[in-house]
Amino acid sequence: MSTKDPAKSQFPTGSAAPASIVDALKAVAGDPPKVRASFAKGQCVHGAYIPSDQAEEITKSQSFTRPSRVLARFSVGSGNPRVADTDKLALRGFSFRLGNVDHRSDILTQSAPVHYARTLDQMLAFLDASIPGEDGKPDMERISAFAAANPETQHQADYIAARPLPASFAGTTYWGVHAFPATNSMGETRFIKFKVTPVGGDIALAEDEAKAKSADFLHEDLEHRIAAGDARFSVMALLDRPGDPTMDATIRWPDEDRREALRLGTIVITAIDPNEACDAFFFDPANLAEGIGHPPDEIFAARSAAYAISFARRR
Whether 4 has a pLDDT exceeding 90, the answer reads no
The predicted pLDDT at position 296 comes to: 97
Number of structural domains (the chain) is 1
Domain ranges, residue 113? 17-314
Confidence of residue 5 (pLDDT cuts 50, 70, 90): very low
Whether 9 has a pLDDT exceeding 50, the answer reads no
Whether 127 is in a domain gets the answer yes
Confidence of residue 266 (pLDDT cuts 50, 70, 90): very high
Whether 143 is in a domain gets the answer yes
Whether 33 is in a domain gets the answer yes
CA distance 234 to 285: 20
Do the Cβ atoms of 211 and 117 come closer than 8 Å? no
Q: What mean pLDDT is reported for the chain?
A: 94
Apex CA 176: angle with CA 211 and CA 277, to 5°?
75
Whether 5 is in a domain gets the answer no
147-166 average pLDDT score? 97
Do the Cβ atoms of 174 and 93 come closer than 8 Å? yes
Do the Cβ atoms of 125 and 12 come closer than 8 Å? yes
Whether 2 is in a domain gets the answer no
Confidence of residue 171 (pLDDT cuts 50, 70, 90): very high
Confidence of residue 315 (pLDDT cuts 50, 70, 90): confident
CA-based nearest residue to 126, from 111, 142, 114? 142
Angle between helices 298-314 and 18-28 (to 10 degrees): 60
| Interval 191-232: pLDDT, tens | 999 999 999 999 999 999 999 999 999 999 999 999 999 999
159-168 average pLDDT score? 97
The predicted pLDDT at position 301 comes to: 95
Whether 72 has a pLDDT exceeding 80, the answer reads yes
Whether 11 is in a domain gets the answer no
85-107 average pLDDT score? 96
2-10 average pLDDT score? 36
Whether 1 has a pLDDT exceeding 60, the answer reads no
The predicted pLDDT at position 8 comes to: 35
Whether 172 has a pLDDT exceeding 70, the answer reads yes
Whether 10 is in a domain gets the answer no
Give the CATH number of the domain where residue 255 resides: 2.40.180.10
> Rg of the chain over CA atoms, in angstroms?
19
Whether 262 is in a domain gets the answer yes
